[in-house]
Structure 1
């Protein structure tokens, strides 16, 4: 049993070099196109058995240096076709943020199901030193999520709650 109470069986998959699980994790199939400048790079994959995200790699032709405070759109060499009702989210990698101050600027970045262009990652260097992105470096995570669409119901008055309109730190620091 896992920490969240989900029971599952884990088996070793020698061909993929990782463990697979048949827990209650949902799966979708996503069409993926590797663009010419991304050839030779491994496809995104889950690094651990219960990982939520796959790592995206930089498909830069030459090293890209980000000075402190500088941002850049980093190509991944990938395009995809998500099934209707899903989105992909581009999120920062915690190690890059902690060790170098490099993060995804518009986190999470949303890839809509009808987008067919290259997945790009907007990186920003919030650190004190320059950071160089190398070809094949893992720069972000990609997660898949279902999409809920909302319909507006116009009203003159909203229902009352104990919180009311308190926000932006109203419960403390």
Structure 2
């Protein structure tokens, strides 16, 4: 980790499934990386506009109070239009099935994914849960009920 900062490490139990044998575990590419690269456990070709839940060959026990977010890899998104449509995808702490990354091809060409290809990033994040407090009135703000585009920005909005 670079000077001036330290990462908080959270132990996560991980089980390699039969289709994950021989594949690398998710890993951080650099000391400053927030996301771990995860690889595909299958071969698949995504046609333009198609989506698929890509197997990783891994299951895990995420500690209570945390989630794992599945995020796109920026290079795949920029160069090929491959992204995670439900970004970020959430893996809950009580899920014990295979971790899969839902990918979609927004590009104009079929995109081949091979076993072992890096397909997404995993970010472990703390979960904050809300408690609802039903009230008759909400406090007033300068914005009020102004919705989409109400704070300015793009001239066509």
TM range (shorter): over 0.9
In structure 2, distance between residues paired with 1:25 and 1:91: 19
In structure 1, distance between residues paired with 2:145 and 2:75: 36
TM-score of the superposition, structure 2-length normalised? 0.93
Structure 2 residue runs of 5 or longer lacking an equivalent are: none
| Cα RMSD, aligned residues only | 1.1
In structure 1, distance between residues paired with 2:97 and 2:130: 26
TM-score of the superposition, structure 1-length normalised? 0.85
Residue 15 of structure 2: aligned partner = 33
5 Å matches for 1:77-116? 77-116=57-96
SS at match of 2:54: strand
SS at match of 1:37: helix
Regions of 4+ moved over 3 Å: none
What is the deviation of 1:164? 1.1
How far does the alpha carbon of each residue in 1:113-147 deviate from its partner, in whole angstroms, 9 at most, with x for none?
11100000111000011100111000000000011
SS at match of 1:97: helix
Count of residues paired in the alignment: 152
In structure 2, distance between residues paired with 1:57 and 1:169: 38
5 Å matches for 1:54-133? 54-60=36-42, 63-133=43-113
SS at match of 1:129: coil
Structure number with the bigger relative contact order (C-alpha 8 A, sep ≥ 6) is: 2
Residue 153 of structure 2: aligned partner = 172
> Quick one: which of 30, 44, 52 aligns to 1:48?
30
What is the deviation of 1:167? 2.5
Structure 1 residue runs of 5 or longer lacking an equivalent are: 9-22
In structure 1, distance between residues paired with 2:133 and 2:142: 22
In structure 2, distance between residues paired with 1:38 and 1:131: 22
